[in-house]
Amino acid sequence: MRGPLLIAIDGPAASGKGTLGRRLAAHFGLPHLDTGLLYRAVGWAAERTGRPPAELAATLRAADLANPELRTDAAGQAASRVSAIPEVRANLLKFQKDFAYQPSGAVLDGRDIGTVICPDAPVKLYVSASLEARADRRYRELRAQGADTIKPRVLAEMAERDRRDSERAAAPLKAAPDAYLLDTSDMDADAAFAAALAFIEGKGFRSAGP
Ligand code: DC
């Protein structure tokens, strides 16, 4: 082992980065932060209360992230909107850095982890998949939850979110130059995990467990 293992995972919506982050965290016994939840909590609260998003970001607490409504697509769209505000991003920086630089190491997933939050992370993964593959995954997920939607709508909303997240001026979604690129269009979660694990072990990190 070479110092704490900090794994920075970035990628667009429904690329599989969340599932991969959870599995890597469990494998290496590390705490995991889904940073999208921070933006979702701010966007959701801003819509409900009308308070300025930057102020909400400055006072966000870990307990605010447990709200199940943050998982909805409406919260995702609200998150994407407030995440373009530079003061919101600045006010969420400390929360994320404190989490990332715990002595144990950590896993964080989001859009700017390898580029802005942890530019010196020893492991950076950029997880992507085609728009069609991601929309198809999200559509199946929504249908399984009993949501009444159609695939073209899911695809259009995802395309809009991709565009907003990639074209914004403040910390746009992009791969760090030293990130390992993982295209999961034709991979299931097991295959993505195996590929990421091989890359991380190739850097000399091993699970401390049995
Ligand atoms: O990963 P997610 O779908 O939960 O993210 C919701 C939105 O939050 C996403 O559209 C963009 C924003 N986001 C961000 O700007 N930076 C991050 N590190 C994580 C999410």
Does 165 sit in the ligand 1 pocket, CB within 6 Å? yes
Q: What is the DSSP string of 105-138?
A: -EEEEESSIIIII-TT-SEEEEEE--HHHHHHHH
10 Å CB burial of residue 4 (0-12, 13-18, 19+) is middle
CA dist., res. 185 & res. 2, Å (int): 32
What is the per-residue pLDDT for 41?
98
Q: What is the pLDDT of residues 126-166, one digit of tens each?
A: 999 999 999 999 999 989 988 899 999 999 999 999 999 99
How does pLDDT run across 74-83, given as a tens digit for each residue? 999 899 999 9
Distance of alpha carbon 5 from alpha carbon 104, whole angstroms: 8
For the chain, helix (H) and strand (E) counts, in that order, are 8, 5
- Which numbered atom of ligand 1 lies nearest the CA of 117? 18
For ligand 1, whether the C-beta of 95 sits within 6 Å is no
Query: From CA 69, how far away is CA 43, in angstroms rounded?
Result: 11
- CB of 83 sitting under 6 A from ligand 1: yes
What is the pTM (predicted TM-score) of this model?
0.94
Contact between 82 and 47 under an 8 Å Cβ cutoff? The reply is no
> Tens of pLDDT along 32-57?
999 999 999 999 999 999 999 999 99
Q: Which of 5, 59, 48, 58 is nearest to 28 (CA)?
A: 5
Pocket of ligand 1 contains residue 138 by CB under 6 Å = no
Residue 186 has pLDDT above 70, yes or no: yes
Measured by CA distance, the residue closest to atom 12 of ligand 1 is 80
Residues 103, 191: Cα–Cα separation, whole Å: 30
**How many whole angstroms separate alpha carbon 42 and alpha carbon 80?**
10
Q: How far is the CA of 200 from the centre of ligand 1 (A)?
A: 24
181 CA to centre of ligand 1 in angstroms: 19
φ, ψ dihedrals at 110, nearest 5°? 180, -140
